[in-house]
């Protein structure tokens, strides 16, 4: 089954063709980083407009690279939640029109389920059940995936997402936007114990996460050093911050494995590209089957939506053309 897939929930416009949920025939990704870097973060209105400018050409490119014409497409999948609402609506409207024009089913896909499904593309043997950690610019979730379309959120961030903190700290350090990868590079070889940083906890909800206190602590260190005219060791600070993020995520992931009795762990989302996190995970979850999404599929892309779209289709989760986008929505919820 050939699925034409769309992703436009934030600042990447992406169109892909995926066969049977496992094989990427094309995956065209246009990043808007340059446009938004001027403002130090994603400007939703600019993102929506850029998606509109790009989506048609990218669709032609995705079909061409897959060596296909429109008539070879069996279904259309699209991220419809969660994300920036204007940005989502561009992909959704285009995808629905395409499905209607071709007379094929329309499959709404949850963005977080899509991130998890990036691993199905890279690892043919991987199948549920497993525990997944999805960490990105907008989300930090620990999930129990009992089947391709059966999700239970075990823990979620109560405030900032991990990636948001990477971006904010990198911005204040003057590294540029998006800052995750730049901060990752800076942390290399730094001392993770040089700066004492908090590890947030939520009373009564041990699996939930909080990153805003950690972010504020780092920002306070930078700002007070600036005010006093003191130098800070940015390498050590980045390493200390990266370690603190790992110390929030990894123990919760280990608890999730214990609670669910699962033997397989899946890492996904933009922050899954973080080398500190990948390294720490490899060391701390030994004895389990650990799947780390390949770097090329960690960030937002439409191939992961095509992969999850296949399994949603198999579960009968297709939608009417009246289907709408949602800015927020847990991965547990069926979108149809
Ligand atoms: O999954 P994604 O492309 O978009 C969302 O769904 O949010 O994730 C983007 C986020 C950004 O915050 C970016 O800074 C972060 O992932 N990121 C990283 C790294 N590469 C990207 N964070 C830490 N280390 C990295 N190497
Ligand atoms: Zn994402």
**Ligand 1 mutation target, pool 79, 180, 275, most atoms within 8 A of CB:** 180
Match 């525990």 to its residue by tokens. Answer: 131
Q: How confident is the model at residue 212 (pLDDT cuts 50, 70, 90)?
A: very high
| Euclidean distance between CA atoms 114 and 112, whole angstroms | 5
Q: Assess contact for 15 and 56: CB atoms under 8 A.
A: no
Please give the number of the atom of ligand 1 that sits closest to the Cα of 179: 14
Please give the number of the atom of ligand 1 that sits closest to the Cα of 115: 1
Per DSSP, the residues of 116-177 read: HHHHHHH-TT--SSEEEEEE-SS-EEEEEEEETTEEEEEEEBSS--HHHHHHHHHHHTT--S
Calculate how far, in angstroms, residue 121's C-alpha sits from the geometric centre of ligand 1: 19
- Nearest CA residue ID for atom 16, ligand 1: 270
- Residues lining ligand 1, Cβ inside 6 A: 10, 136-138, 163, 166-167, 178-181, 184, 269-271, 273-274, 299-300
Q: How confident is the model at residue 254 (pLDDT cuts 50, 70, 90)?
A: very high
Residue 38 or residue 121, greater confidence: 121
State residue 38's pLDDT score.
87
Residue 107: beta bridge partners? Answer: 77
pLDDT-wise least confident of 53-62, 209-218, 279-288: 279-288
- Nearest CA residue ID for atom 13, ligand 1: 180
Please calculate the CA angle 64-66-72 and round it to the nearest 5 degrees: 90
Supply 192's token pair.
């993770």
Residue 286 has pLDDT above 90, yes or no: no
Calculate how far, in angstroms, residue 317's C-alpha sits from the geometric centre of ligand 1: 29
Q: Which among 333, 116, 134, 128 has a CA at the least distance from the CA of 252?
A: 134
Residue 40 has pLDDT above 90, yes or no: no
| Euclidean distance between CA atoms 265 and 292, whole angstroms | 8
pLDDT in tens, 105-142: 999 999 999 999 999 999 999 999 999 999 999 999 99
Calculate how far, in angstroms, residue 161's C-alpha sits from the geometric centre of ligand 1: 10
Over residues 9-22, mean pLDDT: 98
């Amino acid at each position: 089954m050939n699925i034409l897939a769309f992703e436009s929930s934030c600042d990447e416009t992406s169109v892909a063709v995926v066969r049977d949920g496992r094989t990427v025939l094309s995956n065209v990704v246009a990043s808007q980083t340059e446009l938004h870097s001027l403002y130090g973060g994603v400007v939703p209105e600019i993102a929506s407009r850029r998606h509109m400018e790009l989506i048609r050409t990218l669709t032609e490119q995705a079909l061409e690279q897959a060596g296909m014409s429109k008539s070879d497409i069996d279904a259309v999948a699209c991220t419809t939640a969660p994300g920036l609402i204007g940005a989502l609506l561009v992909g959704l409207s285009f995808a629905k029109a395409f499905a209607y024009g071709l007379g094929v089913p329309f499959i709404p896909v949850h963005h977080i389920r899509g991130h998890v499904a990036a691993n199905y593309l890279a690892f043919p043997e991987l199948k549920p059940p497993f525990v997944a950690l999805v960490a990105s610019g907008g989300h930090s979730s620990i999930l129990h995936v009992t089947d391709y379309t059966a999700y239970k959120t075990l823990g979620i961030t109560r405030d900032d997402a991990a990636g948001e903190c990477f971006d904010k700290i990198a911005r204040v350090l003057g590294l540029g936007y998006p800052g995750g990868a730049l901060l990752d590079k800076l942390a290399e070889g730094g001392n993770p114990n040089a700066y004492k940083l908090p590890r947030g906890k939520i009373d009564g909800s041990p699996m939930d996460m909080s990153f805003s206190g950690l972010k504020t602590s780092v920002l306070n260190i930078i700002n007070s050093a600036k005010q006093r005219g003191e130098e800070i060791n940015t390498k050590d600070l980045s390493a200390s911050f990266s370690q603190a993020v790992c110390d929030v995520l990894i123990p919760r992931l280990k608890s999730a494995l214990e609670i669910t009795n699962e033997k397989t762990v899946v890492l996904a989302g933009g922050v899954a590209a973080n080398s500190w996190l990948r390294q720490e995970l490899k060391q701390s979850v030994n004895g389990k089957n650990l799947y780390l999404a390949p770097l090329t599929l960690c960030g937002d892309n439409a191939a992961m939506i095509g992969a999850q779209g296949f399994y949603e289709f198999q579960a009968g989760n297709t939608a009417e053309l009246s289907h709408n986008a949602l800015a927020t929505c847990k991965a547990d919820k069926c979108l149809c």
